[in-house]
Amino acid sequence: MASKKDYVNTGAYLRTLYDALVTNLHARLAEEGYGEISPSHGLVFQYMNENGSRATELAFQAGMTKQSMSALVYQLEEYGYLKRKDDPQDARAVLFVFTAKGETLKRKAQQINYQFEKKWEEKLGAAEYQNFRSTMQQLVDSNE
Amino acid sequence: MASKKDYVNTGAYLRTLYDALVTNLHARLAEEGYGEISPSHGLVFQYMNENGSRATELAFQAGMTKQSMSALVYQLEEYGYLKRKDDPQDARAVLFVFTAKGETLKRKAQQINYQFEKKWEEKLGAAEYQNFRSTMQQLVDSNE
DNA sequence: TTGAATAGTCAGTTAAACTGACCATATTTA
DNA sequence: TAAATATGGTCAGTTTAACTGACTATTCAA
């Protein structure tokens, strides 16, 4: 590791890159008519299960309160990206699943990110980019 | 690059790692009596110049409005981490510089991050961690 | 079968950004 | 050099996205 002096914070790199990705995604989404979708809605798309997820479950995965997550899924339901489904296991619970519109948005967002990352991949070369991603995966896994 | 299907978002990795770093930093700072310092104050420490910086200048570097940055430096001044200095070049402007307390906090924060990153470095090995950082630097530089 | 845990909602609060309008000083230009 | 424009900063109000606390309904466990 470099000396403490003049050491550029790794956090600054992480933040800058994350910000570039998110800013690009939402700018492109807004252009395509998805202006109502904000970065925090992304967490829902990130963790949503194929068979439906509970707000509480999503909240835990995203590291936020159930009240906050509840607000997010409620908005997405109102916009038509999610629909409610009864949980056959538990009468207290509400499952949320993607509508067709929600699936379309998810694919669209993945495409946009995929294209944006291509620029990074071209910059570094495919092998090095693959290595970069696998490094991050190792670090994420080790923190769990 | 992997297929679009089952591709885990690079953004999720970046966010998770950034979040781990920031959460650790502020938990440790709070333990040591710096509970008043929030993540957004970090931006000021990040960009502050040795000879003093203007709020407007910091705002530009941090990518936020001058009003928002003004609020941040005002708070840091109140807490005693920054002090005002007249700008000899421009009577409209106010320069902010670190007080001794501010310098101490900056060093403390660097130490905490440095120690946290050591865990990552141990996980990957020094050479690979160095490579990880230099990869991010390349990507950050290429986006400017 | 009753007490504790869990899913979710309602209401209110806080943090950290934003916009718009404004003043004082600097800079440019007609 | 006087007038127009740009810039540094502040004040006031708004918005977004999180938070806590208190509550109901249902489920699970002793």
Instruction: Give tens-digit pLDDT for B84-100.
Output: 999 999 999 999 999 99
pLDDT for position B49: 93
Judged on CB neighbours under 10 Å (0-12, 13-18, 19+), A144 is exposed
User: Taking the C-alpha atoms of B50, B67, B33 and A4 in order, what is their torsion angle to the nearest 10 degrees?
Assistant: -30
Q: How confident is the model at residue B60 (pLDDT cuts 50, 70, 90)?
A: very high
Contacting B residues, span 68-107, partner chain A, CB-CB under 8 Å:
none
Measured to protein CB atoms, the chain C nucleotides within 7 Å are 6-12, 15-21, 24-27
Residue A93, CA: closest nucleotide via C1'?
A: C7
A70 vs A143, residue with greater confidence: A70
pTM to 2 decimal places:
0.92
Least confident of A2-16, A117-131, B8-22: A2-16
pLDDT at A8: 73
- Interchain pair B135, A124: CB under 8 A: yes
Query: How far apart are the C-alpha atoms of B72 and B36, rounded to whole Å?
Result: 12
Task: Please list, residue by residue across B17-28, b when 16 or more beta carbons sit within 10 angstroms of its beta carbon and e when fewer do.
Answer: bbbbbbebbbeb
Residue B142: pLDDT above 90? no
Contact assessment for residue B114 and residue A1, using Cβ atoms and an 8 Å cutoff: yes
Q: With an 8 Å Cβ cutoff, are A142 and B136 in contact?
A: no
Instruction: Examine the pLDDT at B3 and tell me if it is beyond 60.
Output: no
